[in-house]
A and B are shown apart, each in its own frame.
Chain A
Amino acid sequence: MKDIVSQPWSWYVSGALIGLTVPALLLLGNKHFGISSSLRHICAACLPGKVPFFQYDWKREAWNLFFVAGIVAGAALAVNFLSDNQPVKVSANTVQALADLGIVADGNLAPVSIFNFSNLFTLKGLVFFVIGGFLVGFGTRYAGGCTSGHSIMGLSTLQWSSLVATCCFMAGGFAVVHLIFPWLIKII
């Protein structure tokens, strides 16, 4: 049992468990699966200012903040107690494609050559942390949801707008990897 848990889980087990989050949250208390909303609630709780978009009773939506706090804790538990400590097996084609960009697949969660504190005040840090993060926060709120709210919750409830949003998420990702990274990585 320990072995089964500590290995990486297959796509169908992982996908089924993520899918079950939708009915679990609905039946526990009519909560709608969506994670990017937590970013909005953090704004509403910490710095509402005079912005109408953040003037609402965030305490009523606080379940979402408990949920994301749980994600941080759950991830820490999984890494420390439920892991076989094997590096993520990346496909050979991707390893090669990244090598062509000068990025070594180092077996970590993300390439340490990019994701480390010493890059914080460099161009790399500006692109990967500041601009990347800003696009995630701005884009998800503008789109009205992220991968969880649109792609999983929205598609599960057959929302046309969520299908459009999901296609645009994918288009943006493809554009980064195929059109932007080839020249961007060279100059940062």
Chain B
Amino acid sequence: MKKINDEFTERAVVHPDQCGAANDQVAAESLVGSNLKYLGMGILFGIIAVKSEIISWYRIQEMFRLHSFHMYGVIGTAVVVGAISVWFIKRFNIKTIQGEKVIFNSKPFHWGNVIGGLMFGLGWGITGACPGPLFAQIGSGLVVVIVTLISAIAGTYAYGVLQNKLPH
């Protein structure tokens, strides 16, 4: 564990490029101990995902058929609450529990947002699940979705291989 800590403190914060869910903490972190709190956050998120029924294939069908407000309400409320929270953090300069300034990364536009976005949309409509719900469906006992998850990992791998050949 000691070695890992040293590795982390030596490095400035270096991200994989276009990392969508970056870790901007500067303070050293151990691989397991520091990350258990995110396991806890994931457990809460998994419970919310089930209780809100956003992991239901039928709810996604309703959304794309405009037959129910439910999904729009969930996502819309999440964005509003998220945006207000971000505003508060910026306005009052709220620090992380390690006392660090909260970092916000910009996501510059590239054509992958459009082409990749459309591809993901097709997959979302078919599978009835975005990546979070894929994990939640497996936890809920829909075990066959492990195949979907493996295929999604393969898709991510294929993107990594082809990245330089694709328009961005």
Contacts and interface: CB of A to CB of B under 8 A. Distances in A.
A134 B53 CA distance: 23
Contact of B21 (A13, A33, A53, A165): A33
Q: Which of A43, A56, A110 has the most CB of B within 10 A?
A: A110
Contacts of B11: 57, 60
Q: Is the interface of B mostly helix, strand, loop or mixed?
A: helix
Contact of A144 (B14, B18, B65): B18
Given A136-B123, A152-B82, A90 B62 contact: yes
Interface in A78-118: 78-79, 82-83, 88, 90-91, 93-94, 97-98, 105, 109-111, 115-117
Contact of A18 (B74, B102, B107): B74
Interface in B126-154: 126-132, 134-145, 147-154
Interface string B42-70: 11111111111111111111111101111
Tell me whether chain A's interface is mostly helix, strand or loop, or mixed. Answer: helix
A77 interface: yes
Contacts of B127: 128-129, 132-133, 136
Q: Which of B14, B20, B53, B166 has the most CB of A within 10 A?
A: B20
Contacts of A23: 82, 85-86, 88-89
B77 to A, nearest CB: 3
A168 B121 contact: yes
B151 A134 contact: yes
Given A19-B78, A172-B124, A138 B18 contact: no
Given A97-B65, A165-B116, 5 more contacts: A57-B14, A77-B43, A82-B47, A137-B155, A168-B121
